[in-house]
Structure 1
Amino acid sequence: MRPPEGPVAAVFFDGQTSSRHEVSVSVDWRTPAALILDGTTPGLPRRWPLDRLRALSDRADVKTLVVTVVADTEDEAPRDPARLVIADPALRDWIRTSRPDLFRRDLREGARFRLATRAIGALAAFLVILFVLLPQMANTLAGLIPAEREAQLGKATVRQIEMVFGGSGGIARCETQDALAIWNALAERFVDRAAYDAPLTVIVLDDPMVNAFAAPGGHIVFFRGMIDAAQSPDELAAVMAHEVGHVVARDPTRLMLRSVGSVGLLGLLLGDFAGGGLIVILADQLLDSSYSSEAELQADAYAFERMVAEGIDPGALGDLFGRLRDRHGDVDGLVSHIVTHPSLSERMAEARRQSERVGNPSPALTEAQFETLKASCRGD
């Protein structure tokens, strides 16, 4: 294929203004061979060597070819800001077939190293924000959120979890009046009102998952599977005391604040994650008990202290953990978190050591109250 014999019409953009300029383009074969751009536009004629022509590759219109030329600039990709739009089929197709470097990506020497260095620096900054600054900010801000706002978030989170397990109508709750009275009284026994003065809300969901968690705003959720797994009132009380420890420490709210920051950062990188998606993410994290090792150990310590103060055997928490691990392995909700926690053995041993502090323990509930809680999800 040969180029046109004479000049052809094209459109030139000088890269300085938005004005389009009608120009004529011809091929000059004198060494080095070049395109000659001529017209009435200031700065013309221009000579663009053929071996320095580069095409814009992000064009959807195949009927035109837009080219520029490699030039001396301070940019990492050294290209002239001027553009030439070629619609003449003969010249367009000849350039495409005869210029092997037309779609080459030109970078200055050392540019790849500089870009890689900047990318590593950006990644390091992102990780510092995600894993250092956000947790510190969450710790500070958790105590500043108004109680009513926190309660609204917790309510929305619990509703999302109910929809996950029960569809748009939500999962059934085990809410007999007698059972709720027992649950609320049990929770109140473990809350330190000097540290947390907002209301507590206990919710029991009719699902076999062995799980319990605290949501923002004093919401404590038990699943039927956890109730069925408990063999004594003290085991349910131990789980309740542990979750109240998370509430008092405002761990769910800190988790929410970290999620907000993480979602915002990820949204900048990957797209918009705002809005209702945040509640979904937070609900999923709570279901997975995604607290830090430190938060889990602190909730254990809180539960042990409150149980000892109430004369209840803290060793029940270790008994429950051990039995669930033996029975379920490393799956099923709360069990998955418990059995994969790196300090599980130490936590179980600590629970049994704490039981020595209670000389003559008393059951957390009567057998009748314990049976009322178990029967509430059986429909007895």
Structure 2
Amino acid sequence: MQATEAAFYDGLTAGRHPVRLRLSEDRQALEISGDTLPGVLRWQLMDLRAPRDHADRDRLTLMRHEPGDDEVQRHEARLVIDDPALIAWLHRTRPNLFRHDLAQGTWRKVGYYAGGALAATALLLFVIIPALAGTLARIIPVEREIAFGKTVLAQMEYMLGGAGIGSLTCSNPDGVKALQTMANRLTEGQPMHYSLDIRVFDHPTLNAFAAPGGQIVILRGLLDAASHPDQVAGVLAHEIGHVEHRDVTRNALRTAGSAGLLSMLLGDVSGGALIALVGDHVMNASYTRDAEAEADGYGLAMLDAAQVDAGGLASFFDIVTERAHGLEVPELFASHPATPGRADRARALAERQAGTTPVLTSAEWDALKRICDKAADPAGEDI
């Protein structure tokens, strides 16, 4: 190997030392000399190491393996070589050039710290964030909750294929009026914490869900599957129960916290991705068994107070059960299992009720079923 020029950095200062390299007479080391060095340095060939992630293919940075307390086992000094022939020779003759030298016990430390990190993450995901979400759900101002809910709702509309905000909202005036009549009948005389915003999205999926801030969405597919307005009223009363107990806000905050934590861990901290995760979770909400039981109880009590036949909700559970047997599980109950016990509780209440009347008239029910139809102007053209 012919003597060649290189650059040496001692690792203690930022200075660059022009040096000359040559192979030692015993061919076991590189000898490094320069006018600014205190003497000739001898780097054993067997100790030469090069970083794997070096971006410049026309230049090779060498370091020297040195056992010590440092996990990477490298001396801080660096040698930068530009000579193509020397670089090629080193690649050809030094099989350990890109070897990782780890101190003894490094993997044990990695395992220890990784286990601690996983335990801390699990604690945050399953204990701290849920507890914090519950606290925030109780103290967050309603106006902020409503603003958050509108953002989530817009994301859900986009996920369902909407072209923009409001593009899926069904607005046939007679249908909107019938839906408001149903909501008024259910909430009359009830101490409501929210001014409910209930709407229908023009989508064929059998589903209904609530967003934070008292916003409830019924998908057209649920109206298509229902044979009586009391069935829709039962589902709506159940969703109102989730809203009033702030289950929706609590779950959304928990999902946002979990998604934010995981995004930081995985390197994606974009707000759009976080809201998308929250929207997907709200649209397919999965509440705790206690929360489901409370929402069922609230909904049945609301139906009873409004003198709406709870048998409608029971019969709707029956529809869901029949579809489940045919492996066509509605989205609404993909995470809200339509167990026979829930239908039995609704049916038991219906047997005790007296003096109930349909929540809507036949004309109002027909209008609600057609809420997604386009209204016609006086000239007979669709609006």
Moved more, 40-49 or 148-157: 40-49
Q: SS at 2:204's partner residue? A: coil
Q: 1:106 to 1:330 in 2, by over 3 A?
A: farther
* TM superposition shift of 1:120: 2.1
- For 1:186 and 1:212, locate their aligned partners in 2 and report how far apart those are by CA, in whole Å: 15
CA contact (8 A) 2:194 2:244 kept: no
Match of 1:177 in 2: 173
Match of 2:285 in 1: 289
In the alignment, residue 241 of structure 1 is paired with which amino acid? A
Moved more, 348-357 or 62-71: 348-357
- For 2:191 and 2:53, locate their aligned partners in 1 and report how far apart those are by CA, in whole Å: 60
Whether 2:277 is the aligned partner of 1:276: answer: no
Q: SS at 2:152's partner residue? A: helix
Match of 2:15 in 1: 19
Q: 1:327 to 1:172 in 2, by over 3 A?
A: same
CA contact (8 A) 1:191 1:244 kept: no
Whether 2:207 is the aligned partner of 1:211: answer: yes
Alignment of 1:101-180 (within 5 A): 101-164=96-159, 165-168=161-164, 171-180=167-176
Q: How many residues align?
A: 372
- For 1:275 and 1:193, locate their aligned partners in 2 and report how far apart those are by CA, in whole Å: 40
CA contact (8 A) 1:264 1:274 kept: no
CA contact (8 A) 2:72 2:102 kept: yes
Q: 1:49 to 1:357 in 2, by over 3 A?
A: farther
Q: 1:147 to 1:44 in 2, by over 3 A?
A: farther
In the alignment, residue 80 of structure 1 is paired with which amino acid? H
| CA distances 1:247-278 after superposition (whole Å, capped 9, x unpaired) | 11122222221232123212212223332333
Q: SS at 1:370's partner residue? A: helix
Return 5+ residue gaps in structure 2 as ranges.
376-383
CA contact (8 A) 1:235 1:317 kept: yes
TM-score, normalised by the number of residues in structure 2:
0.88
- For 1:166 and 1:202, locate their aligned partners in 2 and report how far apart those are by CA, in whole Å: 18
Alignment of 1:58-77 (within 5 A): 58-77=53-72
| CA distances 1:130-149 after superposition (whole Å, capped 9, x unpaired) | 12211111110112222222
Alignment of 1:1-380 (within 5 A): 3-4=1-2, 7-30=3-26, 33-41=28-36, 44-164=39-159, 165-168=161-164, 171-191=167-187, 196-327=192-323, 329-338=327-336, 341=337, 344-379=339-374
- For 2:353 and 2:189, locate their aligned partners in 1 and report how far apart those are by CA, in whole Å: 23
Return 5+ residue gaps in structure 1 as ranges.
none
TM-score, normalised by the number of residues in structure 1:
0.88
Backbone CA RMSD of aligned residues: 2.6
Moved more, 51-60 or 86-95: 86-95
Q: 1:124 to 1:191 in 2, by over 3 A?
A: farther
| CA distances 1:47-103 after superposition (whole Å, capped 9, x unpaired) | 221111111111121111111111133122211121111112232222111111111
| CA distances 1:9-32 after superposition (whole Å, capped 9, x unpaired) | 11112222322221222222449x
CA contact (8 A) 1:263 1:274 kept: no
Q: SS at 2:344's partner residue? A: helix
CA contact (8 A) 2:170 2:372 kept: yes
The sequence identity of aligned pairs, in percent, is 40
* TM superposition shift of 1:193: 8.2
| CA distances 1:220-273 after superposition (whole Å, capped 9, x unpaired) | 111111112112222111111011011111222222212321232122122233
* TM superposition shift of 1:196: 4.2
